[in-house]
């Protein structure tokens, strides 16, 4: 079996079939933990610019790690948060996490894959998701729904198609058609939002760590190809007892985690050409068009 075969099969299995293990082990690894802290910086800016107080995350399942905790930051900063998912079992586990943190959340079970959202028009200030969009046929139904139920901004993050390792990610998709997340074209997303009468307000790249985007836990692949020393160097001073999860930051067990993770964020403000080639994700924010009377 080739390394590419192994990576594709392992990551697809962890996402589509083994997602519950993350709730049990509370071990998300360095890559996912880094992504979450990077998102916090964007959330802070978005909240200030758009005045976001009511947030919808839909869908919540897509990235490696514990599902349904990307919006913890919003609740911790006073926003009213709603999470939509098609799995009642997943929502039950998500509810336990939020209860442990004493944070309020509204959980809604919707028809798969979030094609019809049971909310009134303009019910939320912002709707968003991170690496959670399904195949194009589903996205065509979902994005107009997000636009309908949102008042101020729609924030969409997808895998970066311009990444140097994009061909590897494409191979992963081709070999495992059941893999949930696909690197959708930003242009495809913009066109769907344009048809919903929303326009692109701003866009860019995020999640630009010093390690490559390989579509699976970095520690696993580097160990497979004999780079254990590199893995130990990355984890040194970051993981506690070989386990890393942002929940320890939220519970107060490890408040220094943010400072340790930020030392890898030196490329986040790098030149545009570098981020285009190395960033793991591309983001777009849409706002409703002003219709002349």
The two tokens of residue 233 are 């160097």
Total of domains in the chain: 1
Q: Which residues pair with 285 in a beta bridge?
A: 155, 202
Return the pLDDT at 2. Answer: 36
Q: Which residues pair with 155 in a beta bridge?
A: 128, 285
Q: For residue 98, tell me if it sits in a domain.
A: yes
pLDDT tens digits for range 7-54? 434 444 445 668 899 999 999 989 999 999 999 999 999 999 999 999
Q: Give the mean pLDDT of 131-145.
A: 90
Q: For residue 134, tell me if it sits in a domain.
A: yes
Q: For residue 233, tell me if it sits in a domain.
A: yes
- Give the span between the Cα atoms of 83 and 94, in whole angstroms: 9
Question: pLDDT-derived band of residue 164, with 50, 70 and 90 as boundaries?
Answer: confident
pLDDT tens digits for range 228-259? 554 555 555 555 556 899 999 999 999 999 99
Q: For residue 75, tell me if it sits in a domain.
A: yes
Q: Give the mean pLDDT of 51-80.
A: 95
Return the pLDDT at 103. Answer: 97
The two tokens of residue 102 are 């004493």
Q: For residue 12, tell me if it sits in a domain.
A: yes
Domain that holds residue 203: 3-287
- Give the span between the Cα atoms of 26 and 35, in whole angstroms: 16
* CATH code assigned at 70: 3.40.50.150
Integer distance in angstroms from the first to the last C-alpha of the chain? Answer: 63
Q: For residue 84, tell me if it sits in a domain.
A: yes
Q: Find tokens 């996205």 and name the residue.
A: 139
State which of 1-10, 145-154, 208-217 shows the largest mean pLDDT: 145-154
Q: For residue 292, tell me if it sits in a domain.
A: no
Q: Give the mean pLDDT of 143-161.
A: 96
- Give the span between the Cα atoms of 109 and 224, in whole angstroms: 39
Assess contact for 86 and 142: CB atoms under 8 A: no
- Three-class DSSP category at 126: strand
- Give the span between the Cα atoms of 202 and 231, in whole angstroms: 35
Beginning with the edge strand found earlier in the chain, give each strand of the sheet holding 198-206 in spatial order. 106-109, 80-85, 54-57, 124-130, 150-159, 281-288, 198-206
Q: For residue 67, tell me if it sits in a domain.
A: yes
Percentage of the chain beyond pLDDT 90 is 65
**Region of 51 on the Ramachandran plot (φ > 0 left; ψ -120 to 50 alpha; else beta):** left
């Amino acid at each position: 079996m080739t390394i590419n075969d192994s990576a594709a099969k392992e990551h697809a299995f962890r996402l589509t079939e083994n997602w519950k293990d993350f709730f049990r082990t509370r071990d998300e690894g360095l890559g996912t933990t880094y992504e979450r802290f990077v998102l916090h910086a964007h959330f802070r800016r978005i909240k200030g610019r758009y005045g976001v107080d009511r947030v919808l995350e839909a869908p919540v399942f897509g990235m490696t790690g514990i599902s349904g905790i990307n919006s913890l930051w919003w609740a911790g900063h006073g926003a009213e948060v709603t999470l939509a998912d098609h799995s009642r079992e997943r929502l039950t586990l998500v509810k336990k996490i939020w209860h442990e943190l004493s944070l309020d959340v509204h959980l809604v079970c919707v028809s798969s894959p979030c094609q019809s959202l049971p909310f009134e028009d303009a019910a939320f200030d912002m709707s968003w998701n991170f690496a959670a969009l399904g195949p194009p046929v589903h996205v065509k139904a979902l994005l107009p729904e997000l636009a309908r139920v949102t008042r101020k901004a729609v924030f969409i993050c997808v895998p970066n198609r311009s990444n140097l390792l994009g061909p590897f990610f494409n191979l992963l998709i081709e070999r495992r058609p059941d893999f949930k997340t696909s690197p959708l074209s930003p242009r495809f997303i913009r066109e769907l939002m344009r048809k919903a009468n929303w326009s692109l307000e701003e866009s860019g790249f995020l999640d630009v760590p010093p390690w490559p985007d390989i579509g699976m836990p970095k520690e696993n692949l580097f160990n497979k190809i004999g780079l254990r020393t590199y893995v130990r160097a990355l984890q040194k001073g970051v993981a506690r007892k070989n386990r890393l999860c942002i929940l320890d930051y939220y519970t107060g067990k490890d408040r220094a985690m943010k400072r340790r993770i930020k030392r890898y964020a030196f490329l986040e403000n790098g030149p545009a050409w570098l981020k285009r080639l190395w960033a793991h994700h591309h983001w777009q924010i849409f706002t409703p068009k002003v219709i002349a009377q």
